[in-house]
Amino acid sequence: MNRRQVMLSLGGAALAAGLPGPSVFAAGKVAHGSKSVLIVVDVQNCFVSGGSLAVKDGDVIVPLINKIATGFENVVLTQDWHTADHVSFASQHAGKKPFEAVKLPYGDQVLWPDHCVQGTEGASLVKDLSIPHAQLVIRKGFHKGVDSYSAFTEADGKTSTGLGGYLKQRGMTRVFVAGLATDFCVAWTAMDARKQGFETYVIEDACRGIDAQGSLGKAWISMKTAGVKRIQSGDLA
């Protein structure tokens, strides 16, 4: 399945296959050290309770992420950072509604409610997120003509955010991903980390998903196929 097909299926164009049990993906106890990085994806006001694209129970994971982050020497945060007229917003397409899809030059694009507009309160990191030792904030989706779920590569599949080079320059070899939402920005970040050659883990209980018409199950299957390992916070050694 290519990138465009996966993007459309994650948006609800196809019903997900049955989701295997946790044991299929479990990685067991996993040690992390100076060559590991925790990427905390899009823990922003728009994606939690009261936000324009709220993920169910998105607030719940914040204390857990804070706790997990204390065990990591290296932490990177991401923010969706859209222009007010971003191409991924349903409001920019006459007659279209959120969660419908359109064809753009780079492929099929899921349309979203307006969210995480640059400089707005909705785009701010959740105030209870407390990771003072985070070393980098990657802002993505700021090119108005292309979406960017992944922290590594925009949705056209070729425009880099520079994160991969940054991590490699610093000698990182393992990537751990947490945040919002599991089936979109977390999944794409994890799969692109694998493409960049990093050993990659998604910390399932430190994420929450949108699950639009089976997109969560589909995302886990796609991540497994890409070689991403699925763990719980208790699996961190």
Question: Who's near 221: CB < 8 A, 6+ residues apart?
Answer: 16, 17, 19, 20
Is there a catalytic annotation at residue 185?
yes
Short-list 48, 46, 62, 22, CA closest to 118: 46
Catalytic residue among 46, 116, 140, 207: 140
Question: Who's near 209: CB < 8 A, 6+ residues apart?
Answer: 55, 181, 182, 183, 186, 215, 216, 219
Catalytic residue among 46, 116, 185, 207: 185
SS3 105: coil
What are the C-alpha distances in Å from 33 to residues 21, 29, 171? 29, 13, 12
Burial of 2 (0-12, 13-18, 19+ CB in 10 A): exposed
For residues 107 and 3, the answer to whether their CB atoms sit within 8 Å is yes
Short-list 234, 188, 237, 222, CA closest to 25: 222
Burial of 52 (0-12, 13-18, 19+ CB in 10 A): middle
Structure tokens belonging to residue 104:
């753009």
- Positions marked active-site: 42, 140, 185
